[in-house]
Chain A
Amino acid sequence: MSDRSAALLSNNFIYAAIVIYALAFLAHAVEVAWSVKTPAVLVKKTKLDFSKTERLGRLGSAFMVIGTLLLLAGVIFRGISADRVPWGNMYEFSITGALVFSIAYLYALKKYQMRWLGLPAAIAILLTLGTAVTLLYRPSAPLVPALKSPWLVIHVSAAIISGGVFLLANFIAATYLILDRYEQKGARPIWMQKFPTLESLDNFSYRLIALVFPLWTFSVIAGAIWAEAAWGRYWGWDPKETWAFITWVAYAAYLHARVTIGWRGRKAAWLCLLAGSTFLFNYVYINVWGTGKHTYSGL
């Protein structure tokens, strides 16, 4: 297969994935909307009846699975077209990041019955893929010399996986805060009835972060080892390095606050959001408007 046809195939897979994710979004949106419309009188008498939305929800999950498979194919063919791992520019980081996030969601769905997360997850993936294909797209091209290293695979894969999981933890923390707000005012709204308890949300986001913090640490260290080989120093306070460090510090603070001081719930969720936003800032702002050594091939 020629490089160009592989690149074209990759693009088509990504477009198809976007369509399927959009369908998943619709299915989950209707599922949620339907629950909201359920007459309140009915709710008081009986337990909530989700049987009507159940099928829609399952359909949504099925679309999420198909979308993820299409996206996986898109990422793989992007790699084939350039004859390397598809992590050479921001477009490629974005599609791979969306893939990791999607897989993390499916894992959470299977293991912890997190279907309630389907709607926000679909929105996040659509936004990421949408920006990727419209604003960030670059033709498939070989790597610049500085990126030609086995560390590309090690450093970037660790960073992308950490990023996907951090993002998921952020979603859960945000859900926690919204749900907490409702429960403070009285009861949770009907469409949130199926969400897990506040405590389990709190625990789940903590567990995700504790799981992936060592990986993020490793990603920073791997980056430092690579930088030593490519740029002549292992740490130079390049803007991207600085913000990776800030993210690391923020999550370290989160873990200490939780484990040692015993922060739970609202405070921990805010700290989690703060830490996650440093990661997003690093990815979006430093890549697009920043200067420094992490800017390659346009974006």
Chain B
Amino acid sequence: MTTLLDSRSFLRWCWRQLTSMRTALILLLLLGIAAIPGSLFPQRTQNPLQVKQYFIDNPSLAPWLDRFSFFEVYSSPWFSAVYLLLFISLIGCVLPRSIEHAKAIGAKPPLTPKYLDRLDHFTEIKKIDLDLAEKYLKRKGFRIRRETNSISAEKGYARESGNLLFHLSLVLVLIGVGIGSLLGSRGDAILNVGDRFINTPTSYDILGFGKFQAEDSLSPFSITVKDFQAQYDSVTNAPIDYTLTVSTANPVGSAENIKIIKVNKPLAYGNTKIYLQATGYSPIVIIKDKQGKVVFEGPTPFLPQDSNLSSIGAIKVPDMDPQIGFVGSFLPTADRDPVRGGFSSYPEVLDPRLLFSIWKGDLGLDSGVPQSVYRIDTSKLERIGLKALVLNESFDFGEGSITFTGWNSWVNLQIVSDPGKIYALVGAILAISGLLISLFTRQRRIWVKQGRKTEIAGLSKNEIPGLDEEIRDLVKELTGER
């Protein structure tokens, strides 16, 4: 029996500790500290390649960091523990206060203290009628407790209302974030100009679903890339504007609409939005075998490496015997430098070059191990040639020939469904409203009491100035100086 009581009182003690302001403050500071490592170490969710590189650069340290989730800080157990404890503490703190506050709104202000002369703003004036003071304070929006000999008035309850609104809204933001990660999806698709995309899981290059998101819940639209225009600054080479023109139908097969997508103007279908995230070039080649039969024809997306869009990529031709792979780079505006060799000096296609090495052997496409589309593992291949082609030039590499016939632009569309973000937004707006109300509302009490003379005093519950003036006005009104 005693143990039961003990454990119960222990639990109560724990709860009191957790919901104490001091603990909440420590948790708040801890949350800030816990967020730091995520900005110092590369994170898998943002930059998986950098994480891999970190493992290569720091082979002994990286596994240990990984064991403690330093590459996934924001979904790590310790980060989650801090913010969940903080929110429990917050709710434990705010809920009782909300109930108390609701009661206080209905209740009358507390009784007038016995000795007003010990309080701030104490003033004595000639004896006046209390009704006059009551009427004035009521007109000014004070809540009033009238006793026979005194008035106790309070104003500024909105401060606590705002304060509670702010904290409760933060819970709503957290709920919004939670819904987004459990019920949302996010995927990328790389499309050449001319390609058609239908919103089903197999059309994506990468696709991630939330824990409770069904795979067949994707919005059934189609997108055809009609045109892509990029504009660059001729002095700094920096991009100025991207315009993507698409033809869409929702659902697939219904009437097509022409839509423009820009970097800050995604295309929206309900909760699903389609973003233009990246762009690059796809060189177009025709590859023929020894007999002159076309074995490959079309654009291959290359990955940009710098701001002038020097791009690298791989063209894989599994239909030849032996299989052939081209490891290449595409230079939209080719230039030469004795140190760097070939490079691109402008992001637009003015003088394109396709540079590549040719490899013969098993490309490993049938092994089942997923491969990067931009790279070829050449460790088991034999190099049979090296060449740079200008536009419309051909090269005979013995096993066949390759012709560089043109280029195309590709765009990376990111398709995101986030049903939680509206809650997060509403939560954020309510939170900032609550914050403004709580920081800029003055909460104060004014007492008027009949003694030998009429006594007035006030108390400001937060440190915003203004009560002085208010009491001066009251005195003026009561003494009829106005």
Interface residues of A (CB under 8 A from B): 139, 141-146, 148-149, 151, 203, 206-207, 210-211, 213-214, 217-218, 221, 224-226, 228-239, 242-243, 245-246, 249-250, 252-253, 256-257, 259-261, 278, 286, 290-292, 297
Complex: A278 Cα to B39 Cα, angstroms: 13
For A246, what are the chain B residues with a Cβ–Cβ distance below 8 Å? 32, 35-36
Whether a CB of chain A sits under 8 angstroms from the CB of B416 is: yes
Complex: A139 Cα to B74 Cα, angstroms: 38
For B74, what are the chain A residues with a Cβ–Cβ distance below 8 Å? 237
What are 9 A-B contacts with C-beta separation under 8 Å? A144-B238, A213-B439, A229-B266, A230-B263, A232-B416, A233-B418, A234-B425, A236-B46, A297-B236
Q: Which of B311-365 contact A (CB under 8 A)?
A: none
Complex: A253 Cα to B35 Cα, angstroms: 15
The smallest C-beta distance from B349 to any residue of chain A, in angstroms, reads: 19
Contact A249 B264 (CB under 8 A): no
7 tightest Cβ-Cβ pairs between the two chains A and B: A249-B32, A145-B263, A239-B39, A232-B275, A242-B39, A149-B264, A246-B32
Contact A221 B428 (CB under 8 A): yes
Whether a CB of chain A sits under 8 angstroms from the CB of B88 is: no
Contact A249 B241 (CB under 8 A): no
Complex: A226 Cα to B428 Cα, angstroms: 14
Contact A145 B31 (CB under 8 A): no
Contact A148 B29 (CB under 8 A): no
Complex: A151 Cα to B265 Cα, angstroms: 12
The smallest C-beta distance from A89 to any residue of chain B, in angstroms, reads: 10
Contact A249 B432 (CB under 8 A): no
Interface residues of B (CB under 8 A from A): 21-22, 24-25, 28-29, 31-32, 35-36, 38-39, 43, 45-47, 50, 73-74, 177, 186, 233, 235-236, 238-242, 262-266, 273, 275, 277, 414, 416, 418, 421, 424-425, 428-429, 431-432, 435-436, 439, 462-463
Contact B421 A253 (CB under 8 A): no
Q: Which residue, B32, B36, B45, B241, has most C-beta atoms of chain A within 10 A?
A: B32
Across the interface, name the chain A residue whose C-beta is closest to B414.
A232
Complex: A291 Cα to B463 Cα, angstroms: 42
Contact A139 B235 (CB under 8 A): yes
For A214, what are the chain B residues with a Cβ–Cβ distance below 8 Å? 432, 435-436, 439
Complex: A238 Cα to B73 Cα, angstroms: 12
The smallest C-beta distance from B185 to any residue of chain A, in angstroms, reads: 12
Complex: A139 Cα to B237 Cα, angstroms: 13
The smallest C-beta distance from A233 to any residue of chain B, in angstroms, reads: 7
Given contacts A237-B43, A252-B28, whether A203 and B463 have CB atoms under 8 Å apart is yes
Given contacts A218-B432, A221-B428, A246-B36, whether A228 and B421 have CB atoms under 8 Å apart is yes
For B38, what are the chain A residues with a Cβ–Cβ distance below 8 Å? 237, 242
Complex: A289 Cα to B235 Cα, angstroms: 25
Contact A297 B238 (CB under 8 A): yes
Main secondary structure of the interface of A (DSSP, over half): helix
For B436, what are the chain A residues with a Cβ–Cβ distance below 8 Å? 214
Complex: A287 Cα to B118 Cα, angstroms: 55
Across the interface, name the chain A residue whose C-beta is closest to B421.
A234
Complex: A246 Cα to B431 Cα, angstroms: 18
Contact A256 B275 (CB under 8 A): no
Q: Which residue, B47, B242, B263, B416, has most C-beta atoms of chain A within 10 A?
A: B263
Contacts A225-B425, A234-B424, A235-B177 known; list 6 others, CB within 8 Å: A148-B264, A229-B265, A242-B38, A245-B32, A261-B25, A297-B238
Contact A231 B428 (CB under 8 A): no
For B432, what are the chain A residues with a Cβ–Cβ distance below 8 Å? 214, 217-218, 221
For A250, what are the chain B residues with a Cβ–Cβ distance below 8 Å? 29, 32
The smallest C-beta distance from A61 to any residue of chain B, in angstroms, reads: 25
Across the interface, name the chain B residue whose C-beta is closest to A238.
B46
Contact B239 A139 (CB under 8 A): no
For A141, what are the chain B residues with a Cβ–Cβ distance below 8 Å? 233, 235-236, 238
Contact A256 B28 (CB under 8 A): yes
The smallest C-beta distance from B151 to any residue of chain A, in angstroms, reads: 28
Complex: A148 Cα to B431 Cα, angstroms: 28
For B421, what are the chain A residues with a Cβ–Cβ distance below 8 Å? 228, 234
For B236, what are the chain A residues with a Cβ–Cβ distance below 8 Å? 139, 141, 297
Complex: A144 Cα to B233 Cα, angstroms: 9
Contact A142 B46 (CB under 8 A): no
The smallest C-beta distance from B48 to any residue of chain A, in angstroms, reads: 14
Given contacts A141-B236, A237-B38, A239-B39, whether A253 and B21 have CB atoms under 8 Å apart is no
Complex: A236 Cα to B275 Cα, angstroms: 15
For B431, what are the chain A residues with a Cβ–Cβ distance below 8 Å? 217
The smallest C-beta distance from A145 to any residue of chain B, in angstroms, reads: 4
Contact B24 A237 (CB under 8 A): no
Complex: A290 Cα to B436 Cα, angstroms: 33
Given contacts A149-B264, A237-B43, whether A249 and B186 have CB atoms under 8 Å apart is no
Across the interface, name the chain A residue whose C-beta is closest to B40.
A239
For A207, what are the chain B residues with a Cβ–Cβ distance below 8 Å? 463
Q: Which residue, A142, A206, A243, has most C-beta atoms of chain B within 10 A?
A: A142
Across the interface, name the chain A residue whose C-beta is closest to B43.
A237
For A226, what are the chain B residues with a Cβ–Cβ distance below 8 Å? 264
Complex: A260 Cα to B240 Cα, angstroms: 49
Contact B264 A145 (CB under 8 A): yes
Complex: A80 Cα to B385 Cα, angstroms: 54
Given contacts A237-B74, A242-B38, whether A261 and B28 have CB atoms under 8 Å apart is no
Across the interface, name the chain A residue whose C-beta is closest to B429.
A221
Contact A142 B32 (CB under 8 A): no
For A145, what are the chain B residues with a Cβ–Cβ distance below 8 Å? 239-242, 262-264
Across the interface, name the chain B residue whose C-beta is closest to A256.
B25
Contact A232 B263 (CB under 8 A): no
Q: Which residue, A203, A286, A291, has most C-beta atoms of chain B within 10 A?
A: A291
Complex: A166 Cα to B71 Cα, angstroms: 31
The smallest C-beta distance from A162 to any residue of chain B, in angstroms, reads: 13
For B36, what are the chain A residues with a Cβ–Cβ distance below 8 Å? 242, 246
Across the interface, name the chain A residue whose C-beta is closest to B93.
A260
For A253, what are the chain B residues with a Cβ–Cβ distance below 8 Å? 25, 28-29, 32
For A261, what are the chain B residues with a Cβ–Cβ distance below 8 Å? 21-22, 25
Given contacts A221-B432, A229-B266, whether A257 and B238 have CB atoms under 8 Å apart is no
The smallest C-beta distance from A269 to any residue of chain B, in angstroms, reads: 16
Of the candidates B25, B50, B263, B435, the one whose C-beta lies within 8 Å of that of A148 is B263
Complex: A251 Cα to B326 Cα, angstroms: 56
Complex: A252 Cα to B46 Cα, angstroms: 27
Contact A213 B435 (CB under 8 A): yes
For B262, what are the chain A residues with a Cβ–Cβ distance below 8 Å? 145, 148
The smallest C-beta distance from B214 to any residue of chain A, in angstroms, reads: 21
The smallest C-beta distance from B158 to any residue of chain A, in angstroms, reads: 15
Across the interface, name the chain A residue whose C-beta is closest to B462.
A259
Across the interface, name the chain A residue whose C-beta is closest to B463.
A203
Contact B273 A232 (CB under 8 A): yes
For B275, what are the chain A residues with a Cβ–Cβ distance below 8 Å? 231-232
For A237, what are the chain B residues with a Cβ–Cβ distance below 8 Å? 35, 38-39, 43, 45-46, 73-74
